[in-house]
Amino acid sequence: MSTVIQAPRERVWRALSQPRERIRWDIRILSLTRPVPDYPHGDEPAHWRYQLGSVPVELIDQPVEVVPGKRLRQALSIGSFRYEQTYTLSEGSEDEAGEEAGRTRLSLRFSAPENTVPVVGGALDRFDLRRLASEIVDDSLRSLQRWCETESSPE
């Protein structure tokens, strides 16, 4: 999935790569429980308190590929549910006058290689995972877009 954000690519990258901003725009993240000094460039994963439905859980976030201003690929886990997400930033589409106007196209690719995840009382099948993945991607893109278009950068 992707969206065009009415903000420069540097602004969108800052929102993705700075934990203090991520906590403010990502509606599912409650807090950073184990900070990483050089996030997302370090070798250690960040640990976030994360809201999954009505249940707060621990999200472990290991950056796998970091290309500043262009791509952030993360290996994430919530309990036994493991997945990858890749944010890709590029220049936005031109407006009617043929100008870029500080737009950023942001794509988010979500990959969950397992077809089922064991849960209490059963299993979450691939269709449930697809629905959950779609919700996470949609929430992330909308929240990040809203944040970058309306909030100024914290100093």
- Which tens digits make up the pLDDT trace of 80-135? 788 899 999 998 665 544 445 689 999 999 887 754 555 555 555 555 666 767 78
- Contact criterion met (CB below 8 Å) for 80 and 63: no
Convert the pLDDT of each residue in 129-153 to its tens digit: 667 677 878 888 999 999 999 976 5
What's this model's pTM, rounded to 2 decimal places? 0.80
What pLDDT is stored for residue 97 in this prediction? 47
More confident residue, 68 or 123: 68
What pLDDT is stored for residue 85 in this prediction? 92
Task: Measure Cα distances from 68 to 7, 40, 41, 55 in Å.
Answer: 16, 10, 9, 33
What pLDDT is stored for residue 6 in this prediction? 95
d(C-alpha 93, C-alpha 73), whole Å:
23
Torsion, Cα 97 99 103 105, to 10 degrees, reads 90
Convert the pLDDT of each residue in 14-60 to its tens digit: 999 999 999 999 989 999 999 888 999 988 999 999 988 888 999 99
Strand partners, 71: 67, 88
With respect to CATH, is domain 2-150 assigned 3.40.630.30? no
